[in-house]
């Protein structure tokens, strides 16, 4: 029997490596449950999770990414207070930092639908609908995963990056929406390996110094719930490792 309940946990500001390890533990938990069901012929429901987090300054490179898209040395990384990790998601290089809403849905897609393309498009739609509530017309850019503004013009700019990993229909990693992000950190890389296009943030687009992060998170979760026909439940903070 499919389980459309998703346990949501807001980790606050948390180190990238620690968050990655926590993701991996939840991911493994779902996979182990699926393996047990198939081996023993049982029908235990598999859990689903959705982590929300902000990270200290960090650059991450996907498994098919090009290291040359990171434009600074290890010494410069230390100088700007940033770290770097090669990770196991798809996509190229991206940046995470304070003022950015990062979301990691760790789902068993067999509880919803078995279509990775649809999964990515729904995550994009969640962001597009959220930005529409702030009066912004966001859209997809053909062949470029994520959410953009002014697609097809010389002013095209990315506001949300995405990169996921999936195994046996279980997902991890996810999206990073720039809300109050220090965009200067994007100057130290070629974002997602795409040359000639800029990045932006919600507060810059609205001309405001700061936006309420909690409000943005609530809107994202609201649209996620509708798009995935899911029911969200809150996890206890004590479950974080």
What is the pLDDT confidence band of residue 202, given thresholds at 50, 70 and 90?
Answer: very high
pLDDT of the residue at 196: 65
Q: Please, what's the b/e burial string for 191-229 (b: 16 or more CB within 10 A of its CB; e: otherwise)?
A: bbbbeebebbbbbbbeeeeebebeebbebbbebbbeebe
* Position 131 pLDDT exceeds 80: yes
Binding site listing for substrate: 89-96, 161-163, 174-176
* Position 240 pLDDT exceeds 90: no
Q: What are the structural domain ranges in the chain? A: 5-239
Which residues share a beta bridge with 141?
144
Catalytic residue among 30, 192, 220, 221: 192
Whole-angstrom CA distances from 78 to 51, 75, 118 are 27, 5, 39
Q: Please give the residue that has the higher pLDDT: either 31 or 239.
A: 31
Mean pLDDT of 142-168: 93
Binding site listing: 89-96, 161-163, 174-176
Phi, psi of 79 (to 5 degrees): -65, -35
Look up the CATH architecture of domain 5-239: 2-Layer Sandwich (3.30)
What is the pLDDT confidence band of residue 238, given thresholds at 50, 70 and 90?
Answer: very low
pLDDT of the residue at 197: 73
Mean pLDDT of 40-56: 95
What is the pLDDT confidence band of residue 47, given thresholds at 50, 70 and 90?
Answer: very high
pLDDT of the residue at 129: 98
Does residue 160 carry a catalytic annotation? Answer: no
For the chain, the average pLDDT equals 92
């Amino acid at each position: 029997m499919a389980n459309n309940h998703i346990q949501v946990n807001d980790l606050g500001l948390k180190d990238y490596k620690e968050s990655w390890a926590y993701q991996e533990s939840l991911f493994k938990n779902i996979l182990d449950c699926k393996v047990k069901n198939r081996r023993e012929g049982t029908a235990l429901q598999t859990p689903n999770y959705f982590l929300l987090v902000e990270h200290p300054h960090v650059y991450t490179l996907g498994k098919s990414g090009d290291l040359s898209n990171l434009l600074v040395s290890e010494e410069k990384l230390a100088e700007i207070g940033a770290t770097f990790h090669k990770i196991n998601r798809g996509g190229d290089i991206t940046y995470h930092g304070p003022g950015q809403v990062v979301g990691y849905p760790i789902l068993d897609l067999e509880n919803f639908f078995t279509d990775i393309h649809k999964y990515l498009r729904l995550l994009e739609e969640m962001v597009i609908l959220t930005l529409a509530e702030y009066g912004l017309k966001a859209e997809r850019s053909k062949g470029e995963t994520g959410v953009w503004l002014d697609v097809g013009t010389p002013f095209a700019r990315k506001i949300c990056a995405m990169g996921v990993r999936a195994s046996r229909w279980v997902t991890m990693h996810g999206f990073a929406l720039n809300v109050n992000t220090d965009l200067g950190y994007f100057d130290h890389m070629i974002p997602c390996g795409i040359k000639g296009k800029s990045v932006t943030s919600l507060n810059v687009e609205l001309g405001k110094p700061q936006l309420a992060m909690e409000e943005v998170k609530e809107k994202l979760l609201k649209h996620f719930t509708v798009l995935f026909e899911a029911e969200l439940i809150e996890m206890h903070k004590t479950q974080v490792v």
